[in-house]
A and B are shown apart, each in its own frame.
Chain A
Amino acid sequence: MRKADVVCALFLLALGLLVVAEGLRLGIGWGTDGPRSGFLPFWLGVGLGVSSLIVLWQVLAARGAATRRFVGPGKLVPVMKVLIPAVGMVVLSQVLGLYVAGGLYMGAYMRWIGRHSWPLIVLLTVGIPVATFLIFEKWFLVSMPKGPIEAWLGY
């Protein structure tokens, strides 16, 4: 937990410094029309930097305090099992469209994690995207990324 806290605070400190640098580049003084563009970012960066330093100090000062692990042993696996296929879904939807990619993602997850039966999976992975398609494209006229299958069906 402490290690994660320190890493996160360092990351925020770096972000703060980056914003401070950008603020300085844009100018933090007084321009012709009031404060210049970099004025607020500069102080935001300073604020983030200072608060991440305080967090760092608090974490390091609390030596010996009971620490629990950031993620329990093996607990990251189920999280990755959601995240990585989700990334795959986004990549696929650039080619196949969001409906087909979403259906494949749901089907894969249900089979792999849930070990559900094939008829149920097919029903859901076809039914849910079709229902979403009707709701969004037909009813509310909101367009989603579409791929070759939708094109073949005439959309």
Chain B
Amino acid sequence: MGEFANLLLGFQIALTPYNLGIAFIGIILGTIIGVLPGLGGANGVAILLPVTFTMPPTSAIILLTCVYWGALFGGAITSILFNIPGEPWSVATTFDGHPMARQGRGGQALTAAFTSSFVGAFFAIVLVSFFAGPLAELALKFGPPEFFAIQLLTFSAFVGLGGGSPVKTVASIFIGFILAAVGLDIVTGQLRLTFGSVELMRGFSFIVAVIGLFGLGEIFLSVEEGLELRGVTTRVRFREILATWRELLGYKRTFLRSAFIGFWMGFKPGGATPASFMSYGFAKRFSKHPEKFGTGTIEGVIAPETAAHAAGVAALLPMITLGIPGSPTAAVMLGGFLIWGLQPGPMLFKERPEFVWGLIASMYIGNVIGVLIVLLFVPAFAAILRIPFAILTPLIVFVCAIGAYAVSNAMLDIWYMLIFGVVGYVFKKLDYPLAPLVLALVLGDLAENALRQSLIMSQGNPGIFFWSPISAVITAAALLLFFWPLLAPLLRRTRGTPEPVAH
């Protein structure tokens, strides 16, 4: 029962007035970020990262995770009221959420969405609380080959599960690793890919890349589409909340199934989006009224929201236990660890228990505060989208520029941000996924060190990744996932089953 004692310690830290205040601010900022077009979890956290440099690490991570929860809640508001999915995993929420809002049941849809998010997150946090310790314990026995195998699995998961074009995903991963290699090679002390330029010696900061790729890229896309915000006005009344809650009690199975799918898919990278679609699909299949899906049924809101939030929480599990992020947002937070003077990885549980358990406890608190705040202040958050676009656009560009500069007080970073913005815009249009690029940029050095150390251990024999049972299993799984896009059609042909219908 060591977990309970640790969790109690965590709550003592997370419940101090200062940290509670931080959590409140984080949730409110996060929800605003989630509602604003062009800002999402990853770049919101990236822009706020410099602000945390002067904070104690535990408060810093509480702020950033609360921004993340807020952004997840905020995404539901835009999906339901404005039919604009802020993130790919809220696409499934629009299927039934927006029709409900159009029928005047917006309050009901929002209550259902927030409650489901909360339930999904809570389910996943309980699992994280009890799995994190043992997983970190196991990871302590890992050597370089195991770590490299896990990183291989991380990127293979994007190729195999990410959807979209597998080849373009692979290209994105390589671009990320190449950008990570720019600068000083810390093993040999040689300069790589700098082509004699002093500016390139610093390499590329992934925080700047995130702000450019996700923030500016998204702004360019939305001005091109001439974003027209025709939303539905809604107020959530207290009686409506209670009535909706009573109705939600009838969907216990949907909740449980979706939360499980979300957690299971979520700790693998890029899992939140497939989790939300999968859960929507399952809910439809097992529903008593499958014909109502797409026309505004409450089940169609519960399923994807529960799964997406459970997946969002689960994505933090590999970040805190292994030091390997499962999503771009987790990657940005992990970047923060190094800046706050923490070495990410399984040792964190031994060396800084107050940080890890404070973080886990704050997940409970953050989600409780989050669901209360969004339920109470929906009209205020929705009003943000009524601010004229010509005011929001330059404001977001300005905020992005500040965030990019603050990372390392370099003017050049603002230029990089603009370039990454254009690249993000082009890649988004051509369906090159951005998340694997960012993750590769973050993990580049770690992965290269793990690979080199492994090869040194084996005198250059790549077979080392199959020598220990753990790394053999993980490497085999990684290879299977990587070649899945090639294998799946073959399997289907031999079995004679039809192609799955895409959503």
Contact = CB atoms under 8 A, between A and B. Distances in A.
Interface of A: 1, 4-5, 8, 12, 15-16, 19, 22, 26, 30-31, 33-41, 44-45, 47-48, 51-52, 54-55, 58, 70-71, 75-76, 78-79, 81-83, 85-87, 89-90, 93-94, 98, 102, 105-106, 109-110, 113-116, 124, 128, 132, 136, 140-145
- When A and B form their complex, which 10 residue pairs have the shortest distance between CB atoms, in order from nearest? A114-B390, A109-B394, A48-B174, A34-B456, A106-B394, A51-B171, A102-B398, A37-B190, A113-B390, A78-B223
Contacts of B426: 4, 8
Nearest to A106: B394
Contacts of A51: 167-168, 170-171, 174
B178 A41 contact: yes
Nearest to A86: B397
Contacts of B429: 4, 70-71
Interface of B: 50-51, 53-54, 165, 167-168, 170-171, 174-175, 177-178, 181, 185, 187-188, 190, 192-193, 195, 216, 219-220, 223-224, 226, 388-391, 393-395, 397-399, 401-402, 405-406, 409, 411, 414-415, 418, 421-422, 425-426, 429-430, 432, 448, 451-453, 455-456, 460
Given A136-B406, A142-B406, A41 B51 contact: no
Contacts of A12: 171, 175
A33 B411 CA distance: 37
Given A33-B456, A83-B422, 7 more contacts: A33-B188, A37-B192, A41-B178, A48-B171, A78-B226, A82-B220, A86-B418
9 contacts: A33-B187, A35-B455, A54-B167, A55-B171, A82-B219, A82-B394, A102-B401, A110-B391, A128-B398
A141 B432 CA distance: 38
Is chain A's interface secondary structure helix, strand, loop, or mixed overall?
A: helix
A98 to B, nearest CB: 6
Contact of A44 (B50, B177, B393): B177
A90 B192 contact: no
A144 B430 contact: no
Contacts of A76: 224
B501 to A, nearest CB: 19
Contacts of B167: 51, 54-55, 58
B193 A110 contact: no
A48 B181 CA distance: 14
B406 A15 contact: no
Contact of B178 (A15, A31, A93, A110): A15
Nearest to A132: B402
A116 B401 contact: no
B440 to A, nearest CB: 9
B430 A5 contact: yes
A54 B167 CA distance: 7
A135 B388 CA distance: 24
A79 B181 CA distance: 31
Contacts of B425: 79
B251 to A, nearest CB: 39
Contacts of B399: 132
A30 B39 CA distance: 45
Contacts of B389: 114
B188 A36 contact: yes
Contact of A114 (B181, B190, B388, B422): B388
Contacts of B50: 140, 142
Contacts of B53: 140, 142
A12 B437 CA distance: 14
A10 B422 CA distance: 17
A31 B188 contact: yes
Contacts of A142: 50-51, 53, 406
A115 B390 CA distance: 8
A48 B175 contact: yes
A105 B394 contact: yes
Contacts of A19: 178, 193
Nearest to B221: A79
A31 B165 CA distance: 37
A54 B159 CA distance: 15
Given A70-B429, A136-B402, A81 B223 contact: yes
A40 to B, nearest CB: 5
A52 B171 contact: yes
Contacts of B388: 114, 116
A4 B427 CA distance: 10
A31 B223 CA distance: 51
A82 B393 contact: yes
A145 B401 CA distance: 11
